[in-house]
């Protein structure tokens, strides 16, 4: 079932395609082509887009694009749809419950390699090289716990076999541990800090805002895993179904145009990014003001880092089959302004 967050009610529109404006003299609305754009003889049609995002900091650029009307300027009205993970979003894309969603690399690659007709529209966030800019964190209960001390113990990630597990493994190994001797368990991010405190798991990988909340609760930072285990690689992606992407190429162009402008602004103006986050992340102001912001892709349509990401996934035998990059990158979206 799709849940549209009530906290976003002021920034979203009803699920409907707006009718084109009618000329004052009663002339018919301009004809549209299959891509969803109006003909050159009339005004552009505004298209409603159902956009799936989770309630974490990686969604800041999407909400900023809506708040600042960057989507509207590009010709889109956006309706936000709550998702719990990129993997959970994929069936919703295929059955039309949403049009574009924020997805992780492993879930996207695995689905594609299994013949699921999805495509990457563009890169949402990237893994920073500087730990100070890393919005993810691995926490333990005790400051004396180092990566080698996790061997033989349980470690929590948001999704087994997904990007979080891959990043955690590569970071733990980079810090001198042995990820092959760790039992990874799946757990929702809001539950992780309590699980560490109760000794149900020895550590966990959290993203924002949960990472900062865990730090404020007194948990010990082990490492910043994106910077430690895969600096410079794509972290999250904007994905769609092949059917929707091929049918609506102009919508894809409009989306990447709006989201790239918002991502660049979020990178250059953290105050604006935090203000945007405060509208949909229900956290205490002190936590929201302290969170580390994701590194949003400066060039959304630059997917050149996918090959290195797949190499990392293969190093840990995460992909049972290799994705068909020609199909996965078949939607050639273009930033138009």
Which domain covers residue 189, as residue numbers? 131-229
What does the H/E/C string look like for 1-51? Answer: CCCCCHHHHHHCCCCCCCCCCCCCCCCCCCCECCCCCECCCCCCCCEEEEE
User: Are residues 218 and 279 located together in one domain of the fold?
Assistant: no
User: Are residues 10 and 123 located together in one domain of the fold?
Assistant: yes
Q: Characterize 275-294 residue by residue with b for buried, 16 or more Cβ atoms within 10 angstroms of its Cβ, and e for exposed.
A: ebbebbbebeeebbebbbbb
**CA 167 and chain centroid, separation:** 15
Number of domains in the chain: 2
User: Are residues 296 and 162 located together in one domain of the fold?
Assistant: no
Q: What CATH number does the domain containing 115 carry?
A: 3.40.190.10
Tell whether omega for the bond before 209 is within 30 degrees of 0, i.e. cis: yes
User: Are residues 97 and 148 located together in one domain of the fold?
Assistant: no
User: Are residues 28 and 58 located together in one domain of the fold?
Assistant: yes
User: Are residues 26 and 111 located together in one domain of the fold?
Assistant: yes
User: Are residues 100 and 144 located together in one domain of the fold?
Assistant: no
Q: How far apart are CA 157 and CA 112, in angstroms?
A: 22
**Contact by Cβ (8 Å): 81, 98:** yes
Look at residue 330 and give its three-state secondary structure.
coil
pLDDT for the residue 205: 96
What's the predicted TM-score (pTM) here?
0.75
User: Are residues 120 and 241 located together in one domain of the fold?
Assistant: yes
pLDDT in tens, the chain (337 residues): 333 333 333 332 222 222 222 223 333 333 334 444 433 333 357 789 999 999 888 999 999 999 999 999 999 999 999 998 888 899 999 999 999 999 988 889 989 989 999 999 999 999 888 898 888 999 999 988 999 999 999 999 988 887 889 999 999 999 999 999 999 999 999 999 999 999 999 999 998 889 988 998 999 999 999 888 888 889 899 999 999 999 999 999 999 999 999 999 999 999 999 999 999 988 788 888 888 899 999 999 999 888 888 999 999 988 888 888 899 999 999 999 7
Last residue of a domain, one of 180, 196, 229: 229
User: Are residues 241 and 118 located together in one domain of the fold?
Assistant: yes
User: Are residues 121 and 146 located together in one domain of the fold?
Assistant: no
């Amino acid at each position: 079932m799709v849940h549209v967050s009530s906290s976003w009610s002021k920034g979203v529109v009803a699920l409907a395609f707006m009718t084109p404006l009618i000329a004052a003299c009663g002339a018919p609305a301009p004809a549209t082509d299959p891509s969803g754009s109006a003909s050159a003889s009339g005004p552009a049609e505004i298209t409603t887009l159902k956009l799936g995002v989770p309630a974490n900091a990686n969604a800041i650029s999407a909400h900023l694009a809506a708040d600042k009307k960057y989507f509207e300027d590009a010709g889109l009205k956006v309706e936000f749809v709550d998702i719990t993970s990129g993997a959970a979003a994929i069936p919703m894309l295929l059955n039309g419950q949403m049009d574009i969603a924020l997805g992780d690399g492993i879930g996207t690659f695995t689905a594609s390699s299994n013949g699921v007709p999805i495509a990457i529209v563009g890169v949402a966030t990237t893994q920073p090289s500087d730990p100070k800019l890393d919005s993810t964190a691995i926490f333990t209960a005790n400051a004396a716990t180092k990566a080698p001390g996790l061997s033989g113990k349980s470690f929590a990630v948001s999704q087994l076999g997904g990007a979080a597990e891959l990043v955690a493994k590569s970071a733990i190994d980079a810090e001198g541990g042995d990820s092959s001797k760790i039992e990874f368990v799946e757990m929702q991010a809001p539950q992780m800090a309590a699980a560490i405190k109760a000794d149900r798991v020895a550590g966990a990988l959290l993203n924002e805002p949960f990472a900062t909340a865990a730090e404020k609760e007194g948990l010990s930072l082990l490492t910043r895993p994106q910077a430690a285990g895969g600096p410079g690689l794509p972290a999250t992606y904007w994905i769609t179904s092949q059917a929707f992407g091929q049918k609506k190429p102009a919508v894809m162009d409009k989306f990447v145009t709006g989201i790239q402008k918002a991502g660049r602004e979020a990178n250059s103006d953290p105050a604006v990014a935090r203000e945007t986050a405060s509208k949909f992340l229900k956290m205490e102001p002190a936590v929201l003001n302290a969170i580390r912001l994701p590194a949003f892709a400066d060039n959304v349509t630059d997917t050149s880092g996918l090959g290195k990401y797949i190499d990392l996934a293969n190093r840990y035998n995460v992909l049972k089959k290799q994705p068909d990059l020609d199909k996965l990158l078949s939607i050639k979206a273009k930033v138009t302004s």
